Amino acid sequence: MKTVRGMAVAILCMFGLCGLAQADTLTLNPPGGAISGAAGTTVGWGFTLTNVTNFAVVTSSDFCVGVITSPCSNSLGTYKDFAGPQFIVVGPSSSVTQAFNNSLLTGMGSFLINPGATGSVLGDVVLTYDLYSVSPNDPSFLPTDIVSLGNLLTAPASVTAVPEPGSLLLLASGLAGCLLAKKRLPG
Amino acid sequence: MKPGESFVLGVHTNVRQGSGGRIHLPAPVQLLPFLQGAPSLHLLARAAVHVGLYRPDPGRIVNAAPFLNIGQRIREHSFFYIREDQKVGTGEVWLHVKDGAKLFDTSLTLDNTIIANNGASECFVRGSVTSAGAGNLIVNNGSGVPFSACPDVVTSNDPQLGALQLNAPGNTPTMAIPQTSPAFNTADAATSLSTDQRGVSRPQGTRFDIGAYEVCVSRVVLQCFPGIIAPPPQFEPLTTQASPAAGGTVSPPSGIFPFNSVVVLNATANNGYSFVNWTPNVAVPSNPSTTVTMDQPQTVTASFAPLPTSIFGNIVAKSGPANNRDWTLSLLNNGPGGAFTAMIPSFTLMQTFGAACTPVVTNAASFPLLVGDLAPLQTGTANVMLDFTGCAATARFTATFTYSASNGAVSGSVVRFNQFQ
């Protein structure tokens, strides 16, 4: 049975249709992938991964600004992969959703904003996954049940460093001082 | 050796180049008839080729060299003829010394002569020949049976001959040599003639030059060619090079150029590199298209720098039986620079699920795995061979491999979780 399935997949791929058969999608939580936090704090993304055919096994994730490199880096902080180390398997016509939880290490990954960082970075969350014709959780699974390896999904994402509360307080005090001084000016 | 044939001097003439000069038979004969009759003839001796046919009484020269001509049988003196198989292109010119059915000992004297650019065994003797000479430059001398080498070679290095042309004040074509030529100042003084083919006095400076062209070492041309009003052409060597060599190309190629001429230089960066500058002595160092003045020997270098780049690594295929599993690792060069000598120095597996087992990298001796040069947006692969004997089908691993390229200018690591064998 597995052999027949594998052959069918192989024939589809031979005609370049395996890519068409897949319309796997990745969406981030929050929608649009825009997250923010104070400098020195950790933020992160949840996600929903939808798979159309076969069995998708997540193998890594990263946050990339510009071209996708190994590993990616950016000027605002450090990304940590949560999805890869988990064993996330998404069957055909199904999806998996995880919220970001920095304690449970769930979600797509965390982002530690550098202390003192300001501004924002715009990029993509990049997910790699392998496709198998049989679920790796199936006792009959064999490592040769490969459909394709090293597949990529991307979703737009951004991180913004917001001023820390102490900085906001300082700013407010400064503004109040300015207003007071203006009131006391003659005329 | 054929009956009656006592001597063969062979000179291959595959390329239309030569040293320029003249051949002296016992009674000297100017080279001009040779050039007119066989412009491809390469045995253009500056100094002297003495071909003597001796009768049994030693020292008595009986040939009739003044009648010698290319492709012409000297009927008046039937013991000489030159056979020219082909005038231009490939072929050979042989000088046979014969005397009908009679056998005579012969001698060859080859002095201060350049024989070059004719391919293998461009000068040889065959038969009963007594060879002697001095101060010759022969790049590919004769070798092997039944041919023997021509005598007394002082150097086999490239003579750096210029084009066959009229070089003032001569009225026959010669090939100039630069001062960097191995023929410069290396002729045998005792056998050198007092003038070169052009009529220029020898030596210029302290020593004689090999070949038909005596280099004028003085900037005051009248010292070289007294009585000559028109300045003769002078040449200076130009060496052009790219650094690094893979970074780009330069033009023109190295060569010799007229003294004080202005040579246009062009530098073209290869894919993945950018032009940096020219050094030294060029008009505009920052311009890839500039000029250099040949007022002295010049060596100019175009420097190129690799453009920045980055790499994305992946695991893209697995095949083969468990005890000889073949994993294909890929590296994609994102560009815009090239990734040169990309390689994978290390690969590790860490088991994260299943009964403990120990996969073995069976081609560990091949590390670092060479991926090769990657042009921008080019993907290269390398294969790691693994023996998963003893590992369950559901055993999972975290695979990590490192990569580097361009002498470590680009490096990183790739981590993939949940890898099955």
Closest by Cβ to A84, choosing from B313, B315, B417? B417
- Token pair for B296: 């002295």
Closest CA to A108 of A63, A138, A150: A63
Contact A143 B316 (CB under 8 A): no
pLDDT, position A128: 97
B309–chain A nearest CA distance, Å: 10
Contact A58 B334 (CB under 8 A): no
B400–chain A nearest CA distance, Å: 11
Task: Confirm whether pTM is higher than 0.80.
Answer: no
B344–chain A nearest CA distance, Å: 13
Contact A130 B418 (CB under 8 A): yes
- Whether the CB-CB separation of A97 and A53 falls below 8 Å is answered with no
pLDDT, position A111: 98
pLDDT, position A7: 42
Condensed to tens digits (0 to 9), the pLDDT of residues B250-309 reads 999 999 888 889 999 999 998 888 999 999 999 999 999 999 999 889 999 999 988 999
Q: In the predicted model, is pLDDT for residue B97 greater than 80? A: no
Contact A69 B312 (CB under 8 A): yes
Cα separations in angstroms, A38 against A111, A114, A166, B159, B183? 11, 9, 11, 75, 78
- Token pair for A176: 């109040």
Rounded Cα gap, residues B35 and B69, in angstroms:
10
pLDDT band at B91 (very low <50, low <70, confident <90, very high): very low
pLDDT, position B264: 95
Closest CA to A90 of A124, A137, A44, A45: A137
Q: In the predicted model, is pLDDT for residue B165 greater than 60? A: yes
Rounded Cα gap, residues B363 and B386, in angstroms:
8
More confident residue, B228 or B86: B228
Q: Does the beta carbon of B241 lie under 8 angstroms from any beta carbon of chain A? A: no
Q: In the predicted model, is pLDDT for residue B5 greater than 60? A: no
Condensed to tens digits (0 to 9), the pLDDT of residues A1-41 reads 334 344 443 443 443 344 434 469 999 999 999 999 999 99
A84–chain B nearest CA distance, Å: 6
Condensed to tens digits (0 to 9), the pLDDT of residues B129-144 reads 667 778 888 888 877 7
Q: Which residues of B touch A71 (CB under 8 A)?
A: 412-415
More confident residue, B232 or B339: B339
pLDDT, position A114: 96
- Token pair for B5: 């044939």
- Token pair for B323: 């005890």
In the stretch 340-369 of chain B, residues with CB closer than 8 A to chain A read 352-353
pLDDT, position B412: 97
B13–chain A nearest CA distance, Å: 58
Contact B416 A60 (CB under 8 A): yes
pLDDT, position A172: 65
B398–chain A nearest CA distance, Å: 8
- Choose the weakest-confidence range: A12-21, B170-179, B220-229, B376-385: A12-21
Residue B285 neighbours by CB distance under 10 Å: 15
pLDDT band at B116 (very low <50, low <70, confident <90, very high): confident
Eight-state DSSP code of residue B31: S
Most confident of A26-40, B165-179, B190-204: A26-40
Q: Does the beta carbon of A120 lie under 8 angstroms from any beta carbon of chain B? A: no
Give residue B178's Cα distance to chain centre. 16
pLDDT band at B217 (very low <50, low <70, confident <90, very high): confident
Rounded Cα gap, residues B24 and B195, in angstroms:
14
Q: Does the beta carbon of B389 lie under 8 angstroms from any beta carbon of chain A? A: no
Interface test with B, best of A49, A149, A151, A153 (most B CBs within 10 A): A149
In the stretch 97-116 of chain A, residues with CB closer than 8 A to chain B read none
pLDDT, position B111: 73
- Whether the CB-CB separation of B6 and B97 falls below 8 Å is answered with yes
Rounded Cα gap, residues B240 and B300, in angstroms:
5
Interface test with A, best of B331, B389, B420, B421 (most A CBs within 10 A): B420
The ipTM (two decimal places) reads 0.82
Q: Which residues of B touch A140 (CB under 8 A)?
A: none
Q: Does the beta carbon of A143 lie under 8 angstroms from any beta carbon of chain B? A: yes
Rounded Cα gap, residues B357 and B391, in angstroms:
5
- Choose the weakest-confidence range: A4-18, A62-76, A152-166: A4-18
pLDDT, position B47: 25
pLDDT band at B316 (very low <50, low <70, confident <90, very high): very high
Q: Does the beta carbon of B411 lie under 8 angstroms from any beta carbon of chain A? A: no
**Element spanning B348, H or E:** strand B339-353
In this structure, the strands spanning B379-387 and B360-361 are antiparallel
A129–chain B nearest CA distance, Å: 9
Looking at chain A, which residue has its C-alpha nearest residue B351?
A85
Give the residue-averaged pLDDT of B321-336.
Answer: 96
pLDDT band at B377 (very low <50, low <70, confident <90, very high): very high
pLDDT band at A59 (very low <50, low <70, confident <90, very high): very high
Q: In the predicted model, is pLDDT for residue A72 greater than 80? A: yes
Rounded Cα gap, residues A158 and A118, in angstroms:
13
Percent of residues, chain A, with pLDDT higher than 70: 75
Q: Which residues of A touch B418 (CB under 8 A)?
A: 57-59, 84, 87, 130, 136
- Token pair for A173: 């005090």
Contact B315 A142 (CB under 8 A): no
pLDDT band at B106 (very low <50, low <70, confident <90, very high): low
Interface test with A, best of B413, B415, B419 (most A CBs within 10 A): B415
DSSP B233-299: P-EEEEEEEEESGGGEEEESPSEEEETT-EEEEEEEEPTTEEEEEEESSBS-TT-SEEEEE-SS-EE
pLDDT, position B150: 79
- Choose the weakest-confidence range: B125-134, B228-237, B398-407: B228-237
Condensed to tens digits (0 to 9), the pLDDT of residues B234-263 reads 788 999 999 988 889 999 999 988 888 999
Q: Which residues of A touch B398 (CB under 8 A)?
A: 85
pLDDT, position B340: 87
Q: In the predicted model, is pLDDT for residue A164 greater than 70? A: no
Is cis: bond before B368, omega within 30 of 0? yes
Q: In the predicted model, is pLDDT for residue B102 greater than 60? A: no
Q: How many CB pairs under 8 A join A and B?
A: 70
Rounded Cα gap, residues A88 and A74, in angstroms:
26
Condensed to tens digits (0 to 9), the pLDDT of residues B12-61 reads 322 222 232 223 333 222 222 222 222 222 332 222 233 333 223 333 32
Burial A42-64 (b: 16+ CB within 10 A, else e): ebbbbbbbbbebbbbbbbbbbbb
In this structure, the strands spanning A119-132 and A55-64 are antiparallel
Q: Residues near B157 by Cβ (< 8 Å), separated by ≥ 6?
A: B137, B139, B182
Q: What is the mean pLDDT of chain A?
A: 86
pLDDT, position B225: 65
Condensed to tens digits (0 to 9), the pLDDT of residues A116-138 reads 999 999 999 999 999 999 999 99
pLDDT, position B294: 92
Percent of residues, chain B, with pLDDT higher than 90: 39
Q: In the predicted model, is pLDDT for residue B10 greater than 50? A: no
pLDDT, position B137: 83
Q: What is the mean pLDDT of chain B?
A: 73
Q: Does the beta carbon of B313 lie under 8 angstroms from any beta carbon of chain A? A: yes
CA dihedral A146, A148, A149, A155 (to 10 degrees): -140
